[in-house]
Amino acid sequence: MAEVDLAVIGAGLSGCSLVGRLQQLVSDLNITLIEAGRGPGGRTATRLRRDQSDWLLDHGAPGFALSGSMTAGMKELVTPLFSAGVLQRDERAVLSLNDEADLSQATSPEASPVGGWWHGVPCMASICEALLNGAGSAQLNHQFETSVRWLERRKDHWLLENEDRTWSLRAKRLVLSGTLLAHPRSLKMLAWDDVPLRSAVAEGVDVDLDAVLSQLQRSQAEVRWNLMVDLGVLALNDEKLPSQIWLNDPAKAHWNVERLVLQQQSDGRWGLVVHGLDSGEAITPESHGRLLAQEQKRLMALLPELLKALPVVSAALKQATPLGVMRWGASRPLNHPLPPELQWCPRSEVGFCGDWIEGPGFGTAEGAIQSGVNLAEQLHADRQSLVAAGSGSAW
């Protein structure tokens, strides 16, 4: 069985930022990054089509905001992305849609953040890919298309296994960049009979971890049903399409949709992503397939009305091809953020990062990146302290 210094579960922005920053700081760590999807990205993932290699559709976040108050560590992490052109300012228009389906310039802080929108080039997943391919020299192993189901904390290591225990990994330390393995939502959503992290470390063994799990138990997150559509080639002439169309509050309430995102492909076709809001019906293994089909039908039926102010796009709907719905079970945290001082639990040697960490970036991509940087720097500092104290091999 393979053994590594650190296992990181989840290859979204926070997990990749953690790994990227550790690679900048430490040269001799053996890290394995585990991801259920086919590649890195998380909620900045990009939909690839197996039959069309040039199709890249950002079916999660189409971009994010960056403030001017990044820490030195975060600047050091993302500056190479700016230099390489992987992270660029999105200069396209962002519009607002009212409940009469009329368009206007977006002015809300959510749709028009201070500092504008930044996006990945050629796609959002490129950001996470670049974070993992930085100049660091730590040994990094990728384990994609692997979902961790079982966690066990042993005397000096963690044991990770998939659902049927055909894959396993030993790790001296563990980081969760998402909440699924630590949150009760997994009980109903996946029909599990336990919360894996709680089963791995019994209550009372680690007071810090008990506090983490107690906080997460109270936390809630929004659910999204994102419909992906191939619009084909549009007869635009000189018309410029917006990058995003955000629905205002009355429109959101009317259509139960948050926004529409338009993304041109390299061959001239256009992709559309509709960010549908949740109906509140419980998601279980039994209901999941039905809800996916239900949301695709609902959102496709809304498109002619939502897009009537863009005739060239509306006309393309007659030949448009739906590409399915992506469900984000925790697309945005709503409450009870995890305090930064609980990001690392030294007794159990388990840590946490993500947009659900308390701070100015709570609920944002910038917060996710910063949380990964903060945890990496804490792990590095702890490691240096152990070496300075004469503990030999720190990990």
User: Quick one: average pLDDT of 113-142?
Assistant: 90
pLDDT digits (tens, 9 = 90+) for 196-234: 999 999 999 999 999 999 999 999 999 999 999 999 999
Whether the predicted pLDDT of 393 surpasses 60: no
Tell whether the torsion through CA atoms of 35, 38, 39 and 44 is positive or negative.
Answer: negative
Using pLDDT thresholds of 50, 70 and 90, give the confidence band for residue 394: low
pLDDT given at position 238: 83
Instruction: Give residue 137's pLDDT.
Output: 61
User: 273-299 burial, b for 16+ CB within 10 Å, e for fewer?
Assistant: bbbbbbeeeebeeeeeeebbeebbebb
**What pLDDT, on a 0 to 100 scale, did the predictor assign at position 395?**
65
| The pLDDT of residue 245 is above 60 | yes
Angle at 39 between CA 329 and CA 143, to 5 degrees: 100
298: confidence class by pLDDT, cuts 50, 70, 90: very high
SS3 category, 57: strand
What is the pLDDT at residue 68?
Answer: 80
Dihedrals φ, ψ of 112, to 5°?
-130, 75
Handedness of CA 297, 298, 304, 308 (dihedral sign): negative
Across the chain, mean pLDDT equals 95
Candidates 118, 151, 129; CA nearest to 9 is: 151
Q: Distance between CA 102 and CA 96 in Å, rounded? A: 8
- pLDDT tens digit string along 309-330? 999 999 999 999 999 999 999 9
pLDDT for 22-70, tens place per residue? 999 987 899 999 999 999 999 999 998 888 878 999 999 999 999 888 9
What tokens does 91 get?
């200069």
* 354 has pLDDT over 80: yes
pLDDT at 390 over 80: no
pLDDT confidence of residue 135? 58
Query: pLDDT band for position 134 (50/70/90)?
Result: confident
Q: Is the pLDDT of residue 392 over 70?
A: no
Q: What is the pLDDT of residues 336-345, one digit of tens each?
A: 999 999 999 9
Burial of 14 (C-beta count, 10 Å sphere; 0-12/13-18/19+): buried
Beta-ladder partners of 94: 244
The string over 206-227, giving b where at least 16 C-beta atoms fall within 10 Å of a residue's C-beta and e elsewhere, is bebbbebbebbeebebebbbbb
pLDDT of residue 136: 66
The model's pLDDT over 136-174, given as tens digits with 9 standing for 90+, comes to: 666 999 999 999 999 999 999 999 999 999 999 999 999
- What per-residue confidence (pLDDT) applies to 38? 92
Predicted local distance difference test score (pLDDT) of residue 54: 86
Compute the C-alpha angle 274/10/157, nearest 5°. Answer: 165
Q: Note the pLDDT of residue 194.
A: 97
| Angle, CA of 339, 366 and 6, to the nearest 5° | 65
Residue 233: how many other CB atoms lie within 10 Å: 13
